[in-house]
Structure 1
């Protein structure tokens, strides 16, 4: 991995310390020209009562990676990024291992951005398909 990618991932992981992302053990693992990938372990901490991944934890992962992608692709030094709408279709359950969330831009406007976040298991099977709208608010 080149130094630029390593630096981006390091910044993303560093700013998550002491936040919900750290609580859920979300880790940013890959970045490219138009995507960002994070992973989250699936264990009892993120299960619903019947022992499978909770949809809310999945959505928290999706919003985290989509918002982080907006932050890095829009220059987070100039903007605050906020999620303003998220939807999720959960299509498969998982009870252990890791899930991976890959955020890819659908629309990159000056103010709003639309992201598709596919959440997959370790076999690259679709777990959830999410869409996130973010807004970039200028820092003063």
Structure 2
């Protein structure tokens, strides 16, 4: 495991704070509907830069932030079960990412949004090479709790692959 100097750690943390501050600024624009196309592209670029650990590991791409949050993932051999179909955990993770992030936007950045229940139903298989497009739809966006339905479709065929129901809690930013 790599060891980092205190200077390297401080530099990393400063960069992270600057990126998170810009991300929050852009997300507030999404919440108010004032984001421009260039800013939306910038926001998508922040996420492609690996700010979010599991999303970066899986290869999740943030495609759209408004009016609905849309993420995509191209299925690779790393995402499949031994018999070649996409592991259900990929869909659950996509649902958690899309729903939690959409919830953060719906809360206008005024709270941390965390999933508390994730129920994913699998309808059709996908395989390496398929692109899964996951769209978060609000069912209930309350002040302290939210409910999201995330539809996972095959981007090429438009066929529904899975659905996720995600309940989140909104906790105040400390």
With normalisation by structure 2, the TM-score equals 0.72
2:37 aligns with: 2
1:27 aligns with: 61
For residues 69 and 166 of structure 2, what CA distance do their matches in structure 1 show? 14
Displacement of 1:15 in angstroms is: 7.7
- Tell me how large the CA RMSD over aligned residues is: 1.8
Which of 122, 130, 134 is equivalent to 1:90? 122
Displacement of 1:71 in angstroms is: 1.3
Bigger Rg, which one = 2
Q: Which has the higher contact order (CA 8 A, sep 6+)?
A: 1
1:111 aligns with: 144
For residues 127 and 37 of structure 1, what CA distance do their matches in structure 2 show? 15
With normalisation by structure 1, the TM-score equals 0.89
| CA 1:65–1:15: 2 relative to 1, 3 Å | farther
| Structure that is richer in strand per residue | 1
| Structure that is richer in helix per residue | 2
Contact map agreement 2:106 2:141 (CA 8 A) in 1? no
Gaps of 5+ in 2: 1-35
For residues 172 and 145 of structure 2, what CA distance do their matches in structure 1 show? 12
SS of alignment partner, residue 85 of structure 2 = coil
